[in-house]
Amino acid sequence: MTFKEQIKQGIPAILPSKKAYDISINHAPKRKEILSADEKKLALRNALRYFDAKHHAELLPEFVDELEKYGRIYMYRFRPDYKMQARDIAEYPGKSEQAKAIMLMIQNNLDYAVAQHPHELITYGGNGAVFQNWAQYLVTMRYLSEMTNKQTLTMYSGHPMGLFPSNKNAPRVVVTNGMVIPNYSKPDDWEKMNALGVSQYGQMTAGSYMYIGPQGIVHGTTITVLNAFRKINKEPKGNLFVTSGLGGMSGAQPKAGNIAGCITVCAEVNAKITQVRLDQGWIDEKITDLDKLVARVKLAKSTKERVSIAYLGNIVEVWEKFDTENVHVDLGSDQTSLHNPWAGGYYPTDISFEDANIMMAEHPKKFKEKIQETLRRHANAINKHTAKGTYFFDYGNAFLLEASRAGADVMAENKIDFKYSSYVQDIMGPMCFDYGFGPFRWVCASGKPEDLAKTDKIACEVLEEIKQHSPEEIQQQMADNIQWIKGAQENKLVVGSQARILYADAEGRVKIAKAFNKAIKKGEIGAVVLGRDHHDVSGTDSPYRETSNIYDGSKFTADMAIQNVIGDSFRGATWVSIHNGGGVGWGEVINGGFGMLLDGSKVASKRLESMLFWDVNNGISRRSWARNKEAVFAIKRAMKSEKNLQVTLPNMVDDKLIDSIN
């Protein structure tokens, strides 16, 4: 069968043969035992409902085996035989170009070069899933190959509920992930519902089909590191950034350190993923001995070298060794998947990676104790460094949150706040999000590198033109992004699809998108898919990350994210998504995202202008109402540019008046 024929058939009428478990692939760890005997039977019923009853007797023992061995039913037998990668949009079958664009993005999320655990349909973060099983993938791709522009596909946590009549202006796909009743949003609730096959963790851009490999977070981390060094009045050259985590998107940290120009040490316990990052060029060197690591860092400091080093081992050992050896750390953070601490997102000290995976599945209570013991050690080591002048920031991975829950010394004197700020509070919030700058991204649907190069040039020209009349308050942001886009080709950031990201405000996003659409109309480039990370101005309500610099008491509300996805859906998005959970954990955040196909048409031009303006200014208005002065400045500027925009502005209260109350 051809690729198109395989897509169109969905679940094959004749069962494919069983597939061997490929040990060369980086697999998800076994999930812990969470289901009762009756619940296991329910999970099996749920899995078998995708298949004709005549196949149930053959598939049942296989699914029983998967549930026992892996804690989930992945349906490995149904993995497609074709290569999983984003193809030229013209290679996909279908009646709708918009649907073809979505198929392209789904396959990009599952590309072996992109996905963390591709056979388990997990893109990054240990549990950020595109689908729960391979039957869902097959049915979804079939629906997309059949749908017209008068239908919408409804996705319930990876399950394609069906094609419904809509209209050409409606989104082609609406995605929800993990949207459970609030009182059922604890980690074990996710474990149980995911094992039953009824809910999944979509992360931020995994379950919304908008992940572009580590490039997305490379840019955000580069901006963060540059501004962190500015904050401590140091240049990156010859100075040290220490962090951890190379799995999934966190492989971006050493690459970002190289772009910023500092020395980066990133610890990782998984030997397989460390080697992958070395082979991909995301790290320069790998070291397995702490004494050699100390010597190498001291040499790099003495020569003011730009280098990224992976230490194969636990990050706690690095912090403790650098303390005893008096290796000064300038910047420190952490990017392990601590939103998922009990299922492979973070590993304990003094136990091998392999033994930890066994303990995780077979002795979860003991594993949790070891994790919390490690977190206390981790925090104590960091505290010793910060006492010597290290600037440590929480990078939004729930490190401080989980450390506090473990009883680690991370709380401020008031016992309410953390002693270290989130990077959003200190850097990204006031410098970027409040001004409307966030991660605008695009994918060249042709798959041609030359199209990406042309879009880079177009985006750079647009930004340089905008910068000429931009106010002083955002000149630094403009300069950083122009520098980034000029070096994008040189830094070899593409993994998977021909994609790019840069931080832009509403003006930048609209003007860049319009320029792309004109180039498509002229035939200079092929179609382009627009999107963004959920980690942005408007799309995410996350009190420990994206909205951690909201101080009016509303940071635990999620009106902004919900309004965002509803507003995007009727303003022209090709697909929209809303998730419970993300980089800081299940039950800790609501994330909303979108995708939009540009095809060179007048309709696309109108849609992008309406939707992108809303997608940014929704968040700025909320941030201005919280009395963030940068956001007040930004929303006033937006109202001047758009006469139909009227936003309620806050009246500032004299602090002395409030303080006079007994």
- pLDDT tens by residue, 13-28: 999 999 999 999 989 9
pLDDT reported for residue 214: 79
Does the annotation flag 544 for ligand binding? no
Same domain for 178 and 231, yes or no, is: no
Per the listing, tokens 């998108």 go with 513
Examine residue 423 and state whether it is found in any structural domain, yes or no: no
Residues 310 and 287 sit within 8 Å (Cβ to Cβ): yes
- For residue 55, what pLDDT band results from cuts at 50, 70 and 90? very high
436: left (phi over 0), alpha (psi -120 to 50) or beta: left
- For residue 261, what pLDDT band results from cuts at 50, 70 and 90? very high
Distance from C-alpha of 281 to C-alpha of 269, rounded to nearest angstrom: 18
Q: What is the mean pLDDT of the chain?
A: 95
Query: What secondary structure does DSSP assign to 186-202, as a single string?
Result: SHHHHHHHHHHTS----
Does the annotation flag 268 for ligand binding? yes
pLDDT reported for residue 305: 96
Length of the chain: 662
Does the annotation flag 389 for ligand binding? no
Q: Has residue 406 got a pLDDT over 90?
A: yes
Please say which residue of 347, 381, 410 terminates a domain.
Answer: 410
pLDDT reported for residue 495: 85
Examine residue 294 and state whether it is found in any structural domain, yes or no: yes
Examine residue 27 and state whether it is found in any structural domain, yes or no: yes
Please say which residue of 355, 375, 410 terminates a domain.
Answer: 410
Same domain for 120 and 232, yes or no, is: no
- For residue 158, what pLDDT band results from cuts at 50, 70 and 90? very high
Examine residue 420 and state whether it is found in any structural domain, yes or no: no
Q: Has residue 587 got a pLDDT over 70?
A: yes
Q: Has residue 248 got a pLDDT over 80?
A: no
Examine residue 415 and state whether it is found in any structural domain, yes or no: no
Distance from C-alpha of 262 to C-alpha of 244, rounded to nearest angstrom: 16
Q: Which residues contact 129 (CB under 8 A, 6 or more apart)?
A: 120, 121, 122, 123, 158, 177, 200, 201, 202, 203, 206, 207
Q: Has residue 426 got a pLDDT over 90?
A: no
Candidates 115, 277, 157, 103; CA nearest to 579 is: 157
Distance from C-alpha of 426 to C-alpha of 228, rounded to nearest angstrom: 9
Structure tokens, 451:
């199209």
Examine residue 417 and state whether it is found in any structural domain, yes or no: no
Neighbours of 450 (CB within 10 A): 12
Same domain for 547 and 632, yes or no, is: yes
pLDDT mean over 411-434? 90
| The Cα angle at residue 121 between residues 449 and 128, in degrees rounded to 5 | 90
Structure tokens, 456:
């880079």
| pLDDT-above-70 percentage for the chain | 99
Three-state secondary-structure class, residue 156 = strand
Does the annotation flag 583 for ligand binding? yes
Same domain for 127 and 161, yes or no, is: yes
pLDDT reported for residue 213: 82
Range of the domain at 470: 429-656
Q: Has residue 219 got a pLDDT over 90?
A: no
- For residue 408, what pLDDT band results from cuts at 50, 70 and 90? very high
| pLDDT-above-90 percentage for the chain | 85
Same domain for 481 and 375, yes or no, is: no
* CA distances for 622 relative to 197, 206, 295, 324, 618, angstroms: 36, 26, 49, 46, 7
Residues 324 and 235 sit within 8 Å (Cβ to Cβ): no
- For residue 250, what pLDDT band results from cuts at 50, 70 and 90? low
Per the listing, tokens 């973060």 go with 125
Burial label for 374, CB within 10 Å (0-12, 13-18, 19+), is buried
Same domain for 309 and 399, yes or no, is: yes
The whole model's pTM is what?
0.90
| The Cα angle at residue 237 between residues 235 and 240, in degrees rounded to 5 | 95
Same domain for 166 and 218, yes or no, is: no
Domain count, the chain: 3
Examine residue 324 and state whether it is found in any structural domain, yes or no: yes
Same domain for 444 and 593, yes or no, is: yes
pLDDT reported for residue 623: 97
Candidates 341, 412, 343, 414; CA nearest to 373 is: 341
pLDDT tens digits for range 447-503: 999 999 999 999 999 999 999 999 999 999 999 999 899 988 888 888 889 999 999
Distance from C-alpha of 180 to C-alpha of 98, rounded to nearest angstrom: 29
Same domain for 224 and 142, yes or no, is: no
* CA distances for 121 relative to 26, 116, 250, 407, angstroms: 11, 9, 18, 34
pLDDT mean over 367-392? 97
Examine residue 208 and state whether it is found in any structural domain, yes or no: no
Q: Which residues contact 373 (CB under 8 A, 6 or more apart)?
A: 348, 406
Residues 314 and 267 sit within 8 Å (Cβ to Cβ): yes
Please say which residue of 196, 224, 256 terminates a domain.
Answer: 196
- CATH number reported for the structural domain that contains residue 363 in this entry: 3.40.50.10730
Residues 114 and 125 sit within 8 Å (Cβ to Cβ): no
The HSE-up count of residue 87 (CA atoms within 13 Å, CB side) is: 13
Structure tokens, 391:
């600037």
| Torsions phi, psi for 236 (to 5 deg) | -65, -35
- CATH number reported for the structural domain that contains residue 10 in this entry: 3.40.1770.10
pLDDT tens digits for range 136-152: 999 999 999 999 999 99
Please report how the helices 475-487 and 449-467 are oriented relative to each other, as an axis angle in degrees rounded to 10: 160
pLDDT reported for residue 161: 98
Burial label for 81, CB within 10 Å (0-12, 13-18, 19+), is exposed
- For residue 249, what pLDDT band results from cuts at 50, 70 and 90? low
| Torsions phi, psi for 148 (to 5 deg) | -110, 175
Same domain for 510 and 585, yes or no, is: yes
Does the annotation flag 402 for ligand binding? no
Does the annotation flag 126 for ligand binding? yes
pLDDT reported for residue 402: 94
pLDDT reported for residue 473: 94
Same domain for 379 and 483, yes or no, is: no
- For residue 354, what pLDDT band results from cuts at 50, 70 and 90? very high
The HSE-up count of residue 146 (CA atoms within 13 Å, CB side) is: 16
Same domain for 402 and 293, yes or no, is: yes
